[in-house]
Structure 1
Amino acid sequence: MENRLKEEARKLLKEGKVDYIVGYGNGTVKFRTSPLITNKEEDIESLVINPFIANNLSRYPTEIKGKLGIVVKGCDSRSLVSLMQDNKVNRDDMVILGVPCEGVVDIKKLGEQIGADIDQAKEIDKEGDNLIVQMDGSKKTVPFRDVIFDKCFGCEYPTPLEYDILLGSEVSPRIEIEKSLKKIKEFEDTDAPERWRYWKEQFSKCIRCYACRNVCPACFCERCFVDVNIPQWITTYGSWQDNLVFQLIRTLHVAGRCSDCGECERSCPVGIPLRSLQRKMVEEVKGLFNHETGVDKDAFPVFTHYEATDPEEFIK
């Protein structure tokens, strides 16, 4: 797929069909990738596709002027479709390069499996259903499914739903929903005081860096409510109460627009399990409105219209 990507990206730039390519390049640290945005043909050789392409690149079309060739995985494509529905991006301004995704490696899980920081690895290759990790003087084989993000187990759309060029063969969904939701279900089984204690502890760690907001494709307000000072909704210093309010309001704001890409949790520098909040809201929206983010590009955003068939069981 990587060679095909380079071929198509180079062709798009050369023929003037796009102004920029938005894809993945190797990061500054081993076995990480970072967004690569370029309008130069010589940079195309730096594009990569591997099991570490975690970033949701659909964040960028709202910020870059011009026509884009953009690389998307399944969850990324759903975020992109959601942005189209909200008229935040124009479909005609994009050439979408779809990457069928078998799952993305969680480097924390991989480190636990090999019993060392992955920076100590010399080389990591995917062979079949395993990752082969070359260490200094040894080789370790790790089952691929043991090191992918929890979100990947519940992914029903690993092949992008919207694309112009599909770079590989379609991938069958894993649909191991129970495994994907295991942490959330365990949390639901606890009583209210325990949940309160847990979230108080988690949000006491928050440094209010806003990485979760800044990385989220669904957070597209021109001015975020936390930046408003007249009226001031929450304080600027990081009390756990205000941190909790920030996350609860953000969760409500992106309801019906979250594709469960997990970028909020992955970007959190203090390890707050933010995906648990977002994924719970995904389940609520699906149960209440039978709505899945970015699955039907002709559908309306969930809170912008009314259907006579809405169950309304939650209205008292």
Structure 2
Amino acid sequence: MDNSLLDFEKPINELEDKLQDMKELASRNNVDVSEAVVELEKRIQDLKVSTFENLTRWQRVQLSRHADRPYTLDYIYEITDDFIELHGDRNFADDKAMVGGFGTINGQTFMMIGQQKGRNTKQRQMRNFGMANPEGYRKALRLMKLAEKFNKPIITFIDTPGAFPGLEAEERGQGEAIARNLKEMFMLKVPVICVIIGEGASGGALGIGIGDSVLMLENTWYSVISPESCSSILWRSWEYKEQAAEALRLTAEDMTSFGLVDRIVDEPLGGAHTDPRTTAKTVKEVILDEFEKLNALNPHERINLRIEKFSNMGVFQEPVSK
């Protein structure tokens, strides 16, 4: 059995293996098992639907971290006709956890920026598990300003467990780098579309998350803290991560209901990793649809709407004096 399978995927995988064995046996022995195959295929489909339509919040967090889930560069190379990666923050270093460059979709050039994770141990170390240092956020801002200079729209792909919390990152101004990105992104004159494709954790996600249109794939999460970290703070243990995920209300549906995200992007049944190409095609269509609407506005309108949207987020109460 595939080691990358999640617990709730295993019953489906067992039936799929059984189906494959049945087909191979029928082929070798020249036996007609078409009725049994149809019946088993229906059982598999029904189980998939019942499983993935009733996922808990923690299960969606697990799906967002699936080892086979497409990452930023997978989407970029799939949806663009060409892509030229740009490097460095022109100040300290080139952060491999943050990638970006110009790419063309249906004749329109976009600046594409996002966090990039690794597939194996060596890649994960090089990409620092998708956790950017300050130079990563400064590179992202440099590329955004470059896009603004040439009047090119911006797409950001968000997928990070958080900004790198190491001592050296703090010494180089991690907080300042993210804060500057927040300020500058509000004032960008070009359309900005943000897509959460996996994990959207804390300021690490928000550092490239200020956009005119903020999208979330169906099985992703967006929160100020991960369920594990929340559990360790509240219960002094990671064992309560499932309860923490429920309390945080961090799924795409939750974020949309709170008005923090503008649109949910559907994934294939079973998650983006089951059919990355179809997922990328859907992401491409939604991006182009959002861009068409945003491009119809003038820069002044877009900036005002962007500021208004984020200013209206959250709830507060003022105490009534007696």
Q: What TM-score results when the alignment is normalised by the length of structure 1? A: 0.27
Q: Which has the higher helix share?
A: 2
Larger radius of gyration: 2
